[in-house]
Amino acid sequence: MNRRNFIKTAAAVTAGFYLNPVEIFGGKVMAAENLKWWQRTIVYQIYPKSFADTTGSGTGDLNGITAHLDYLKKLGVGAIWLTPVYPSPMVDNGYDISDYTAIDPAYGTMADFDRLISEGKKRGIKIVMDLVYNHSSDKHAWFLESKSSRNNPKADWYIWRDAKADGSAPTNWRSIFGGSAWTWCEERGQFYLHTFAKEQPDLNWENPAVRQALYDAANFWLDKGVGGFRIDAITYIKKPAEFVDGAPDGKDGLSHIHPLTANTRGILDFLHEFKRKVFDGHDIFTVGEANGVAADELNQWVGANGVFDMLFEFSHVLLPLKNGEIFCRPTPWKLTELKKALSDSQAATRTNGWCPVFFENHDRPRCVNYFFPKDANPVDAAKAMAAILLTLRGTPFIYEGQELGCTNVAWDSIDAYNDISSHAQYEFALNEGYTPEQALEFVHFFSRDNARTPMQWNDKKNAGFSSGTPWLPVNENFKTLNAAAEEKNSDSVLAWYRKLAKFRATHEELISGDFELLLPDDENIFAFSRTLGSKSITTVVNFSTKNIPLPAEFHGKKILIGRKSEDLKPLEIKFFG
Ligand code: GLC
């Protein structure tokens, strides 16, 4: 199945499955008193490389995070998801790990990490680590040993295969970052598999010693007192029993690896073992990055019989790419589709499991540019998204800078981009016949660098991020868009985030209340209610850039936040009680 059909199939399954979640799971919405700490808090994601540099190296560090804990506290944050801080050659900015139980010197020392944990604890903020267990770096000692011969003790710690009879790669799979998913290794005279870059060889989970080494590493961090784990690219760990070619889906003759290897039967056996040996018995949360889990399997992944507490599901953030283009050509989408995607995942976790709510992360463009028309006022757009994020049911995940309303960059040459996937996207687009201008436009729209530019703390040198030369240029709008300026402005995006965080924390219905989508067919208004017993809050957001009438059902209702009126200005938000 090619990626386009795969997405369509997944969507169709989703539509069918989510209609009757209550029937499927039975049971009731989880009672307020049964909620755990992580179901009541807000998680803030930090990309350490870009957050705050205390040494002038141009790269953010752990001490920079510790220095800003009070800033996060004011946002109502109870946990920080740190993208990888382990030693890494940084081919994929830390997602290529060369030692699972140490800190990369660029980020500081283990003592700095321990201090971050203890300073966080003082403020009620836990640290959540990113486990990248589908693959390691090709510089990890395990891989160096594995590739050295066919009979060393770690010979089968990775996925090795002989060439086809004609000397070509074992299959025609295209890696997620472009090009063949197989790389030839002279020393062994074999190919190794990499779902991502060639510097990220896939680990062989079939080998119990590999699994145990990974569990040991996670337990090392639990012993340090971390508050949980985000588990990277986890749907790829189980490979198919047989490796067969897929139908070519691009002019390179390759076939995208995702539909061919993601979520292979038997994966849950590994994950139940992982849960038993690592997660069970700890007051932590786990959230899996699980691209490729079909909706009718969700109850095996989260909830009472699941393996994780939450799962990042991508249907809502993939909408502007819904044509299934492998490399990110934007396509028109409708508000009704966004509402459906979000309310489907609300419904699927209504009585079993829990939802992480997110619009941004380190792999996504800024939501202001992604979900709104070009003529939308970016401040209003950022606030509109915040209103949805902080009042849906589930744990909100704020990505660094989102609380300031940060926006995309648009650099004028592909050479300016650091993101490995942007280069692959650009090459692929050229190969498919797009012009260099079009290819660059796709990169502007979708590059992961959009989210990775340095944090904008103030209007001073390098936005207050670093006294040295930042590893990635600062977005040039930092003179006006920065935390210090927003601290002073009671109408800023930051002030709005803080206000809503408090609103959420002080209204139990916004935490444990039931969710109901209102006006599902309206293409301008995103409205839903959150109800707990006799208390109910309704969120109403005009997602369009037009002035529209306020629907009659809201006339005369009590306004909790917002303007009293019978119209909705472009991107206007109202909360009714
Ligand atoms: C995940 C990460 C992404 C990384 C990839 C490979 O999707 O979020 O940043 O490049 O896995 O580890």
Q: State percent of the chain over pLDDT 70.
A: 94
| Distance in Å, CA 9 to ligand 1 centroid | 24
Ligand 1 contacts CB of residue 177 (under 6 A) = no
pLDDT attached to residue 142: 98
Q: How confident is the model at residue 291 (pLDDT cuts 50, 70, 90)?
A: confident
pLDDT tens by residue, 442-489 = 999 999 999 999 999 999 999 999 999 999 999 999 999 999 999 999
Whether 280 is catalytic is no
pLDDT attached to residue 54: 98
Give the Å distances, CA to CA, from 510 to 20, 80, 350, 410.
23, 21, 14, 37
Among 476, 409, 471, smallest CA distance to 440 is for 409
pLDDT attached to residue 250: 86
> How many contiguous H segments (helices) and E segments (strands) does the chain have?
19, 20
Which SS3 state, helix, strand or coil, does residue 42 take? Answer: strand
Residue 356 has phi, psi (to 5 degrees) of -90, 130
User: For residue 325, what are the contacts with CB-CB under 8 A and spacing of at least 6?
Assistant: 4, 331
326 pLDDT above the threshold of 80? no
Ligand 1 contacts CB of residue 196 (under 6 A) = yes
More confident residue, 287 or 12: 287
- Number of independent structural domains in the chain: 1
- Which domain does 537 fall in, by range? 512-576
Gap between the Cα atoms of 226 and 216, Å rounded:
14
| Distance in Å, CA 221 to ligand 1 centroid | 20
| Distance in Å, CA 192 to ligand 1 centroid | 19
Gap between the Cα atoms of 468 and 114, Å rounded:
26
Which SS3 state, helix, strand or coil, does residue 225 take? Answer: coil
pLDDT attached to residue 2: 36
Give the Å distances, CA to CA, from 199 to 138, 174, 175, 193, 235.
5, 15, 12, 10, 19
Residue located nearest, by CA, to atom 11 of ligand 1: 233
- DSSP, res 153: T
Gap between the Cα atoms of 187 and 210, Å rounded:
22
pLDDT attached to residue 332: 87
Q: How confident is the model at residue 11 (pLDDT cuts 50, 70, 90)?
A: very low
Q: How confident is the model at residue 3 (pLDDT cuts 50, 70, 90)?
A: very low
Q: How confident is the model at residue 7 (pLDDT cuts 50, 70, 90)?
A: very low
pLDDT tens by residue, 327-377 = 667 888 999 999 999 999 899 899 999 999 999 999 999 999 999 999 999
Which SS3 state, helix, strand or coil, does residue 356 take? Answer: strand
Domain-embedded: residue 566: yes
Q: Which of 232, 249, 313, 486 is catalytic?
A: 232
Q: Where are the beta strands (DSSP E) in 83-227?
A: 126-131, 160-161, 173-174, 182-185, 190-193
Residue located nearest, by CA, to atom 4 of ligand 1: 95
Domain-embedded: residue 115: no
Residue located nearest, by CA, to atom 12 of ligand 1: 95
Domain-embedded: residue 79: no
226 pLDDT above the threshold of 50? yes
Ligand 1 contacts CB of residue 419 (under 6 A) = no
Which residue type sits at 467? S
- What atom in ligand 1 is closest to the CA of residue 196? 6
170 pLDDT above the threshold of 90? yes
241-247 average pLDDT score: 97
| Distance in Å, CA 427 to ligand 1 centroid | 19
132-156 average pLDDT score: 98
Domain-embedded: residue 345: no
Residue among 46, 193, 232 whose CB has most ligand 1 atoms within 8 A, to mutate = 232
Which residue type sits at 337? E
More confident residue, 7 or 378: 378
Which SS3 state, helix, strand or coil, does residue 11 take? Answer: helix
Domain-embedded: residue 561: yes
Domain-embedded: residue 551: yes
Answer yes or no: are the C-beta atoms of 270 and 237 closer than 8 Å. Answer: yes
Domain-embedded: residue 100: no
Give the Å distances, CA to CA, from 209 to 96, 103, 167, 343, 347.
20, 23, 31, 41, 39
Domain-embedded: residue 54: no
- Alpha-carbon dihedral of residues 500, 504, 510, 511, nearest 10 degrees? 140
Q: CATH number for the domain including 545?
A: 2.60.40.1180
Ligand 1 contacts CB of residue 516 (under 6 A) = no
| Distance in Å, CA 132 to ligand 1 centroid | 8
319 pLDDT above the threshold of 50? yes
| Distance in Å, CA 259 to ligand 1 centroid | 17
Ligand 1 contacts CB of residue 95 (under 6 A) = yes
113 pLDDT above the threshold of 90? yes
| Tokens standing for residue 5 | 């059909």
18 pLDDT above the threshold of 50? no
Mean residue pLDDT across the chain: 93
pLDDT attached to residue 480: 97
pTM of the model: 0.94
pLDDT attached to residue 327: 62
31 pLDDT above the threshold of 90? no
Gap between the Cα atoms of 146 and 323, Å rounded:
40
25-43 average pLDDT score: 84
